[in-house]
């Protein structure tokens, strides 16, 4: 065999190997894409209090749009941790579903009926008149208390 013939064979073999490796990568990419479940955000490595009797806590959650689409283990959340998902490692921090702070000062709420309310008063004269009217019932040397 001559050198020219050997170079053709080596070139052809190299091309075949290159095409085969591309096929494997494309297959792997397709497999990963098939396993990827769409999510906008994934929180993992956390302790989620669900308030659900069947599953009181979880390690991870996934969100798509304005919906929670997954609550469960870190292992099961892996299928959402792909594509364009924002992945947040919570490093053991807690997550409370639906927890909001309405910022009520309970003592103030309890005292409200006993104090002057200035809510809805638009002018200084109305404010002064309301304070004077309320102060009539406040014992001497006590403070007029209120809010608004």
Q: Is pLDDT at 95 greater than 60 in this prediction?
A: yes
User: Do residues 111 and 123 share a domain?
Assistant: yes
User: Do residues 28 and 40 share a domain?
Assistant: no
Q: Is pLDDT at 126 greater than 60 in this prediction?
A: yes
Q: Is pLDDT at 13 greater than 70 in this prediction?
A: no
- Distance from first CA to last CA of the chain, Å, rounded? 101
pTM for the model: 0.48
Task: Please tell me the distance from the alpha carbon of residue 67 to that of residue 75, in angstroms, as a whole number.
Answer: 21
Q: How many structural domains is the chain composed of?
A: 3
User: Do residues 131 and 90 share a domain?
Assistant: no
pLDDT score at 86: 96
DSSP 92: T
CA nearest to 131, candidates 108, 110, 147? 147
User: Rounded to the nearest 5°, which phi and psi values hold at 22?
Assistant: -65, -40
Length of the chain: 148
């Amino acid at each position: 065999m001559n050198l020219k013939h050997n170079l053709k064979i080596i070139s052809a073999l190299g091309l075949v190997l290159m095409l085969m490796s591309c096929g494997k990568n494309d297959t792997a990419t397709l497999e990963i894409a098939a396993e990827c479940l769409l999510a906008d955000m994934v929180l993992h490595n956390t302790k989620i209090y669900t308030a659900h009797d069947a599953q009181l806590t979880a390690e991870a959650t996934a969100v798509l749009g304005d919906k929670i689409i997954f609550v469960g283990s870190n292992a099961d959340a892996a299928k959402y941790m792909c594509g364009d998902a924002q992945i947040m490692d919570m490093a053991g921090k807690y997550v409370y579903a639906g927890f909001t702070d309405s910022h009520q000062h309970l003592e103030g709420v309890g005292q409200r009926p006993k104090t002057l309310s200035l809510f809805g008063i638009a002018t200084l004269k109305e404010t002064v008149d309301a304070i004077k009217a309320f102060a009539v019932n406040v014992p001497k040397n006590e403070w007029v208390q209120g809010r608004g």
